[in-house]
Amino acid sequence: SYFPGDLLALTSVLKSPFSSLNDSDVLEILENSWHLRGRPCQRFELMLELVADHDKFLAQTLRWGREKVHELPPHDFLREIFSRLSGWRAHQLAYEGQEGVLAAANIEKFWSWSANLSGEGITSVGGFLEYLTELEDDETPGTAAPGGKWVQLMPIHKAKGLEFPIV
């Protein structure tokens, strides 16, 4: 089940284009919170405090997301997070030319798709993530060609240990 305090998910966000942190910053945050490794909720909170030392706005947005993840439908939650972090622009800037335009268009298509899922009874972010997990072997939602650059979604357990040029 979905746990908003998931440290791997937080680390993924900190290393993504949504974050202003570099690899050294993320490593420092992980090292400085290591002593709480057996207490994930406390470690999550400490990590957010350490993130605030580098980027207060990012830390505020992550706190907001943690509070709202169970209250908002997936489309509204994603729209607000992307809006707060200018996520589609970060992905667009990560690519050059037409690939950047395509990356931004794919994120906007994803938003639209997430809005349509409420009609199928998926009204929570946790339900949305479970639905995505069920789709991991089904390629119908996406239209990207193999070998191209696109935003790829996968459950954390499947992505763990993999390296991507852009997350």
- pLDDT score of 14: 87
pTM: 0.64
Per-residue DSSP letter, 64: H
Range 90-113 average pLDDT: 69
| From 13-27, 28-42, 125-139, 151-165, the region with the lowest mean pLDDT | 151-165
**Least confident piece of the model among 16-20, 30-34, 74-78:** 16-20
Q: Please, is 96 exposed, middle or buried when counting C-beta atoms within 10 Å of its C-beta (0-12, 13-18, 19+)?
A: exposed
Of residues 19 and 5, more confidently modeled = 19
What are residue 20's phi and psi, to 5 degrees?
-90, 0
Higher pLDDT, 140 or 125: 125
pLDDT one-digit tens code per residue, 35-52: 887 788 888 889 999 999
Task: Determine the pLDDT at residue 2.
Answer: 41
Q: Which two tokens stand for residue 82?
A: 């992307």
Q: Report which of residues 46 and 149 the model is more confident about.
A: 46
Nearest to 63 by CA among 40, 81, 90, 88: 81
Instruction: Flag whether pLDDT at 135 surpasses 80.
Output: no
18: Cα within 13 Å, side-chain hemisphere: 22
- What pLDDT is attached to residue 110? 78
For residues 150 and 139, the answer to whether their CB atoms sit within 8 Å is no
